[in-house]
Amino acid sequence: MSAAHGGPVSGFGAPEVRTEPGHRAVGSPMAGAPKGSRNTRKSSLRTHQRWYVPWLFLAFGLTITITFILFPFFNTLGLAFTDATLLRDGQFTGLENFRRMFDDPRFTTALLNSTLYVICVVPFMVVLPLILAALVAGKGRLLGFFRTSYYLPVVMSVVIIGLIWTNLLDSRGLVNSLLQWIGAIDSPIPFLTDRWLLLFSAMMVTVWSGLGYYMVIYLAALANIDQSLYDAASVDGAGTVRTFLSVTMPGVRSTMMLIAMFSSIAAFRVFGEVYVLTGGTGGVGGRNVTMTMLIQSEGTGLQAETGYAGAISLAMFVIMGALLLAQLWYQRREEDA
């Protein structure tokens, strides 16, 4: 910017560099050099002396990143190898926290639950919003109404959603009362106390509340599919299903991969739904605890074991990183093919 205007960026307090024609510093290595070269060197000098200008532009963003991302990350990394608690600086304990982690049945349970969450939730998150998006794409008030309805859970707090579903699925909740009233069941279905039923209930809540978000992403992707492809499919006599499979799905393939990535990470980090449905307890016997719930349990409160919580966080980071890399690799392979 300054070069274009031929003046210093004095607004940043940069020292002025003299640029008058004919002026040359005595003893300068450029002495005797052709005029054009001299001008280039001056410009270079000016740029060199304002090395900090780009940093000034970056300062705000860097400060935020360092304070809220890099420092906590490296701090967690360091804590993971200590026996620190909230109120006591830890000693370096090497891999002790990781050894403890793999001996801890709660960690195994949490890892299993979070992994199952990814396996079960992600396929629904990838496919169902696409079907919804295909159904509600287009113009018209009715379609607009459905789009809004499907998106509504996205703007609701996860706590509110959890409470709604808790009241529905409780042993004395609406679902059980209704089923008992019509005589379908004799005793309540333990949606919120049976280990697997609770996990699947939480998955259902996650899918229900996340559909709208991914539907909107698909709607944007659908708008980018060339209309002539649909026309050609129509001319060829393709029906709705064939058109969906042969035109729509290939057209949003990259979006599907993106959503698979996003929803995998979100599913592995699940917290709110399980927390609220179990009343914050992690289920009967703690058998519904997830990775993030375990971190929260170990890493908060006055008795927080920050070192151990850091180790679990690090393990979670590594697992999610591996998941992400695997998906990127698969996506690249698909693109190359």
Residue 144 as a binder of other proteins (CB under 8 A): the answer is no
Query: Alpha-carbon distance 79 to 73, whole Å?
Result: 10
103 lines the binding site for other proteins (CB under 8 A):
no
Query: According to CB under 8 A, which one of 97, 113, 263, 297 is a site residue for other proteins?
Result: 297
Which residues is 82 bridged to in the sheet? 92
Nearer to other proteins, 89 or 334 (CB): 89
Nearer to other proteins, 212 or 282 (CB): 282
Between 251 and 286, whose beta carbon lies closer to other proteins?
286
Out of 102, 279, 321, 334, name the contact with other proteins by CB under 8 A: 279
Under the binding rule (CB under 8 A), the answer on residue 177 touching other proteins is: no
Q: Concatenated DSSP letters for 147-167?
A: HHHHHHHHHS-HHHHHHHHHH
Written in H, E and C, the secondary structure of 16-72 is CCCCCCCCCCCCCCCCCCCHHHHHHHHHHHHHHHCCCHHHHHHHHHHHHHHHHHHHH
How far, in Å, CA of 114 to CA of 107, rounded? Answer: 10
Q: Among the candidate windows 40-48, 54-62, 78-86, 203-211, which touches other proteins by CB under 8 A? A: 78-86
What is the nearest approach in angstroms of other proteins to the Cβ of residue 38?
58
Find all residues with CB under 8 Å of 9, minimum gap 6, and list them. 1, 2, 50, 53
Q: Indicate whether 88 belongs to the interface with other proteins (CB under 8 A).
A: yes
Please identify which residue in 286, 317, 320, 327 interacts with other proteins, judged by CB under 8 A. Answer: 286
Can you tell me whether residue 88 is helix, strand or coil?
strand
| 112 lies in the site for other proteins, by CB under 8 A | no
CB of residue 304 to other proteins, shortest distance in Å: 7
DSSP code, position 173: S
Sole binder of other proteins in the list 87, 142, 155, 241 (CB under 8 A): 87
- Residue (144 or 279) nearer to other proteins, CB: 279
Instruction: Candidates 44-52, 54-62, 85-93, 210-218: pick the segment binding other proteins (CB under 8 A).
Output: 85-93
* Cβ atoms of 248 and 299 closer than 8 Å: no
Applying CB under 8 A, does 194 fall inside the site for other proteins? Answer: yes
List the one residue out of 41, 43, 10, 14 whose CA is nearest residue 28. 41
Residue 182's CB is within 10 A of a number of other CB atoms, namely 8
- Measured distance CA(114)–CA(337) in Å, rounded: 32
Candidates 3, 86, 159, 163: give the one binding other proteins (CB under 8 A).
86
Q: How far is the CB of 210 from other proteins (least distance, A)?
A: 26
Regarding 273 and contact with other proteins (CB under 8 A), the answer is no
Q: How many CB atoms lie within 10 A of CB 337?
A: 5
DSSP 191-255: TTTSHHHHHHHHHHHHHHHHHHHHHHHHHHHHHTS-HHHHHHHHHTT--HHHHIIIIIHHHTHHH
Exactly one of 201, 282, 312, 313 binds other proteins (CB under 8 A); that residue is 282
Residue 220 interacts with other proteins (CB under 8 A): yes or no: no
Which residues lie closer than 8 Å to 7 by C-beta, 6 or more apart?
none
Least spacing, CB of residue 187 vs other proteins, in Å = 8
Does 167 help bind other proteins (rule: CB under 8 A)? no
Window of 34-42, 56-64, 123-131, 296-304 that interacts with other proteins by CB under 8 A? 296-304
* Residues contacting other proteins: total by CB under 8 A: 29
Q: Given the rule CB under 8 A, which residues bind other proteins?
A: 83, 85-88, 170-172, 187, 190, 192-194, 278-279, 281-286, 297-298, 300-305
